[in-house]
Structure 1
Amino acid sequence: MDDAELQAIRQARLRELQAQATQGGGSKSSAEDAEKRREMEEARQTMLVQILDNEARERLARISMVKADKARGVEDLLLRMAQTGQLRGKVSESQLIDLLGQINQQAKPETRIVYRRRFDGDDDDEEYDL
């Protein structure tokens, strides 16, 4: 099996697990749910290993220590890009940095500072007359 076939099989298995998780009823025990979440996370990490080179994976791990939600969003984006065929090879650290920069620019809210000056009505020049 080549890498493309193996990745397609893993992605199909991940979709199956996600579908089962969303369809699952309340009759399952918490141990089974935990096991399914662990399997899904393991499949996710396996796909990320295939997508990212070592330096990029280390950088993403450091980001997840500080901002777990942001790292999770980047992982989701990378997995979607891989599934749609937008990635040609492994993502390098510099490509990951560029991707993070693009995400930061899109997510950065525009900051505006508005000065509201109060008018007291006592602004006479009489104070300055001596």
Structure 2
Amino acid sequence: MEDSELQAIRQARLRELQASAATGEGSNQMEETRQTLLAQILDNEARERLSRISMVKADKARAVEDLLIRMGQTGQLRGKVSESQLIDLLEQINQQQKPETKIRYSRRRYEEDSDEEYNL
């Protein structure tokens, strides 16, 4: 099957999913289709790693799945994503989302530390 045919099939399936999501029907069917698309995009080791990530951080795994599906639908992927490629993608995402660390000191005052005792 040619890439253009595969892309057309994926686009048609995406439109079907969006239509069924708009009407509120087929959430199980959407999840099954999602898993099917991920099976086409990821090799077995990468799928296993992503499922382990979803046990710990479900929202992060879902975001990575969404990104992979979009990349597959736009033709940015040239074959199945391996586990090492998935790890590289996760590292890139972690670099982008790394929060800035701030250290803040706050001194607590106790009654015996009061400046009033020293007439200051």
Q: TM-score range by the shorter chain?
A: 0.7 to 0.9
Residue of structure 2 equivalent to 1:30? none
Letter in 1 for 2:30: M
Identity value in percent: 75
Q: Distance in 2 between matches of 1:47 and 1:3?
A: 17
Alpha-carbon deviations, 1:8-33, whole Å to 9, x = none?
A: 314422322222322x27xxxxxxx3
Alpha carbons of structure 1 residues 10 and 85: separation in structure 2 relative to 1, 3 Å: closer
Alpha carbons of structure 1 residues 118 and 82: separation in structure 2 relative to 1, 3 Å: same
Residue 86 of structure 1: how far off its partner (Å): 1.1
Aligned residues: 112
Alpha-carbon deviations, 1:52-102, whole Å to 9, x = none?
A: 011101100111111111111000000111111111111110110010011
- Structure 1: which 5+ runs fail to align? 26-32, 125-130
Residue of structure 1 equivalent to 2:21? 21
The worse-fitting range, judged by mean Cα deviation, of 8-17 and 100-109 is 8-17
Residue of structure 2 equivalent to 1:29? none
Q: Distance in 2 between matches of 1:42 and 1:6?
A: 18
Letter in 1 for 2:12: A
Q: Check whether the contact 1:56–1:96 (CA below 8 A) recurs between aligned residues.
A: yes
Q: Check whether the contact 1:59–1:93 (CA below 8 A) recurs between aligned residues.
A: yes
Say whether 1:45 aligns with 2:35.
Answer: yes
- Structure 2: which 5+ runs fail to align? none
**Aligned ranges 1:93-104 → 2 under 5 Å:** 93-104=83-94
| RCO higher in structure (CA 8 A, sep ≥6) | 2
Relative to the length of structure 2, the TM-score reads: 0.79
**Aligned ranges 1:1-130 → 2 under 5 Å:** 2=1, 4=3, 5-6=5-6, 8-22=8-22, 24=23, 33=25, 36-117=26-107, 121=115
Relative to the length of structure 1, the TM-score reads: 0.74
Q: Which runs of 4+ in 1 moved over 4 A?
A: 117-122
